[in-house]
Structure 1
Amino acid sequence: MRFETIAIHTGERPDKSYGAITTPIYQTSTFVFEDVGKTRGFDYSRTANPTRKVLEQTIARLEGGKAGFAFATGMAAETTVMHLLKAGDHIISGDDVYGGTYRLFHNVMRNFGLEFTFLRMDNRQRIEDAIKPNTRMLWLETPSNPLLNIIDIEMVADVARKHGLLTAMDNTFATPYFSRPIEYGIDLVVHSTTKYLNGHCDVVGGAVVTTTDELTERVQFLLNAMGTCASPFDCWLVLRGIETLPIRMKQHAANAMAVAEYLKGRPAVSRVFYPGLESHPGHEMARRQMKGFGGMVSLELKGGTEEVSSFLKRLRIFSLAESLGGVASLVAHPATMTHASMPREHREKAGITDQLIRLSVGLENVDDLIDDLRQALEPG
């Protein structure tokens, strides 16, 4: 089956018990045993739940992986992946990752003995030069959050194979509709299902997709042991969102391209970051490894904090809020919001300036979105 059909028809349709056309919500904590030591496939919802199982199977099939796991949040998914490692292990990560990822790595996991090196991962030699005897994992985002840098996935996977390292990639921005990292050799794919997979800003969740039996067993053990699983109702909300993922992503990308084209010619805008623009340094790489360029656009305004603040206040359709990937357009100021936990020195070295603004381009009429940006950029 093709992507659009898998998104709708993974799982039992109709439900075997009563013929329900949608996946039932098994809102239960525990399940009755048939006999001592004999279950009907489920015993406790922390370990496994029928609704969660359908979501996990769906995400795994969409990514082309071995197995999927649904977590309470994207950060719970990332934390679980970090627990595949042990004290003394070294991880190389992109330098412009999501601020919450940086906070987890730098402020939390370092306290448990993990070591991290943050660098721009667009150069093979730079990555290889950073590898130490204790390096165990390469962590990447592409497109990255919030600068939309494009990393050569196949190159990173090849470096990892050469040195016997694991690879983990956050595929939240692209989704499996536009990018399938496993096809390029990535071992673990991570998602914040809060974002595009759900697509309606009404749930928080995360996911991990594995590629081997060993990783599957280890992630399953950690999910159960750490209790990081998603609830049945949250899983159902993400499943409902995935059914429309293909058509939503097409429109997100179309609207984002139009917005980026508009912004690149504005006098008040110094830079536009969108891999769909031919001027983007990663444009050709994005064309080779992605089916589309996604719905995120970032820009830098000319001026200082006053100009940034005034622009954000004037917006009417774009709402100033955390998160992204929903049907409604959102705007964020990374330096004070999503990446506020990054030290200024690291943030600025990565290119995340105080003038940077991130747009999550929604599904509204694109002319209305451009009109909103125009009146905010050109008051009076």
Structure 2
Amino acid sequence: MHFDTLALKATHQADPTTGAVVPPIHLATTFARDEANELTGPYLYTRPNNPNREALETALATLEGGAVGMAFGSGQAATMTLLQALSPGDHVLVATDSYYGTPALLEQVFHPWGLTYTRVHMDDLDAVKQSMHENTRLVWCETPSNPLLTITDLLTVARLAHDAGALCVCDNTWATPVLQRPLELNCDIVMHSTSKYLSGHSDVLGGALVFKRNDEFAQRVRSLQSLSGAVPSPFDCWLISRGIKTLGVRMRAQMATAQAVADFLDGHPSVEKVHYPGLPNHPDRALIAQQMNGPGAMLSVQVNGGAAEALAFIGKLKLFTRATSLGGVESLIEHRASVEGPNSTTPANLLRVSIGLEHAEDLIADLAQALR
């Protein structure tokens, strides 16, 4: 099936009791037993399982082509639970240019617990190979990366991980299964912040993991999900499932506008550099064509000057909302180094841009007046 059809089929379950086309929200935290103390249905308590979460997890696995999906209360909860499934003494290889919360978890929570980790530029395949240790158990990719939109060769990195006896994980939040399916590129696990494109309306917090195989490691993560209670509410699951229905059309519309905005900014006299996989001068054009169905709707722009000039520029914008996050229907812009804090390695003049559903000409006019 085409993605749009698959997304609707995966998230459409008519209520078997009432026939309602839109599935109900099951807010119950516990489920009844009969006179013999046997459960009357398949659910015991909402922390280990819930009808809305089960429906979402099934849809996520379908969209990514995996064996099992797991929904969490946030992207960080998904990442944390996956790392908890490792053992003290294990080693993790993580992309240098990745969402800042991922290495922060490794440094502040799991390194004191006994995990070791190495940050490496994932676009340098020799460096990836040389950074593998005997105890490397997990290789964490993110492509396109946050915030520099670096592209990782998933097929090759997955092979290097498997040669070292490690699992390969890909944060697919920015590409979504519309544009990229890492499990088909030999990755073992896909991670999502479902707060972003999957829900698509900046009104729900969530995360997800999708496993290529429902093996012993996946079952360990499932057990930790239940034991830790790092799960989304039924309403959150319902909202994310609703958002998935329009994911394909939203992504294509946002991507077309992002391409127009990137083309406008690229070469502008007030702009130092534009980071966007759709630009014709991108060094990884061949790799992007090989593993992606489009460049996405995220871009980063470095204006001339430093932090002061970047902040002055976004202060003049009228249509872009100055806010953290991405993937919603409204266009957002943020000074990334300020958000990441004093230890940020992001260039001081870089602004991260999430393109929404406004008309491209209106967004470009707004950028033009702010750059004047």
- Give CA-to-partner distance per residue, 1:276-319, whole Å, 9 cap, x none: 11211222211110011110010111112221111010011111
How far the C-alpha of 1:250 sits from its partner, in A, is: 0.3
Q: Distance in 1 between matches of 2:251 and 2:12?
A: 25
Paired residues of 2:199 and 2:239 also in contact (CA < 8 A): yes
SS at match of 1:335: helix
1:82-231 equivalences under 5 Å are 82-214=83-215, 215-231=217-233
Q: Distance in 2 between matches of 1:262 and 1:256?
A: 10
Paired residues of 2:311 and 2:335 also in contact (CA < 8 A): no
Match for residue 27 of structure 1?
27
Q: Distance in 2 between matches of 1:54 and 1:224?
A: 16
How far the C-alpha of 1:265 sits from its partner, in A, is: 2.1
Is residue 363 from structure 1 mapped to residue 357 from structure 2 by the alignment? yes
Identity %: 43
Match for residue 300 of structure 1?
302
Paired residues of 1:6 and 1:58 also in contact (CA < 8 A): no
Structure 2 counterpart of 1:8, one-letter code: L
Q: Distance in 2 between matches of 1:108 and 1:13?
A: 39
Match for residue 353 of structure 1?
347
Match for residue 5 of structure 2?
5
SS at match of 2:336: coil
Deviates more, 1:54-63 or 1:214-223: 214-223
TM-score by length of 1: 0.95
How far the C-alpha of 1:191 sits from its partner, in A, is: 0.3
How far the C-alpha of 1:192 sits from its partner, in A, is: 0.3
How far the C-alpha of 1:6 sits from its partner, in A, is: 2.1
- Give CA-to-partner distance per residue, 1:33-79, whole Å, 9 cap, x none: 23435451111000000011111111110000001111000100000
Paired residues of 1:66 and 1:216 also in contact (CA < 8 A): no
Structure 2 counterpart of 1:333, one-letter code: H
Match for residue 376 of structure 1?
370
Is residue 266 from structure 1 mapped to residue 268 from structure 2 by the alignment? yes
Q: Distance in 1 between matches of 2:11 and 2:330?
A: 29
Deviates more, 1:212-221 or 1:250-259: 212-221
**Alignment root-mean-square deviation, CA:** 1.2
Q: Distance in 2 between matches of 1:150 and 1:39?
A: 50
Match for residue 335 of structure 1?
337
Paired residues of 2:11 and 2:244 also in contact (CA < 8 A): no
Q: Distance in 2 between matches of 1:2 and 1:263?
A: 33
Q: Distance in 2 between matches of 1:294 and 1:101?
A: 22
**Alpha carbons of structure 1 residues 38 and 29: separation in structure 2 relative to 1, 3 Å:** closer
SS at match of 2:112: helix
Q: Distance in 1 between matches of 2:118 and 2:319?
A: 39
Match for residue 60 of structure 1?
61
Structure 2 counterpart of 1:357, one-letter code: L
Match for residue 77 of structure 2?
76
How far the C-alpha of 1:12 sits from its partner, in A, is: 5.9
Unaligned 5+ runs, structure 1:
none
Q: Distance in 2 between matches of 1:280 and 1:39?
A: 58
Paired residues of 1:271 and 1:301 also in contact (CA < 8 A): yes
Structure 1 counterpart of 2:290, one-letter code: R
SS at match of 1:160: helix
Q: Distance in 2 between matches of 1:3 and 1:304?
A: 41
- Give CA-to-partner distance per residue, 1:231-253, whole Å, 9 cap, x none: 10001110111000000000111
Match for residue 247 of structure 1?
249
Paired residues of 1:270 and 1:302 also in contact (CA < 8 A): yes
Deviates more, 1:30-39 or 1:231-240: 30-39
Q: Distance in 1 between matches of 2:12 and 2:253?
A: 29
Counterpart of 1:310 (choices 309, 312, 330) is: 312
Match for residue 18 of structure 1?
18
Paired residues of 2:154 and 2:185 also in contact (CA < 8 A): yes
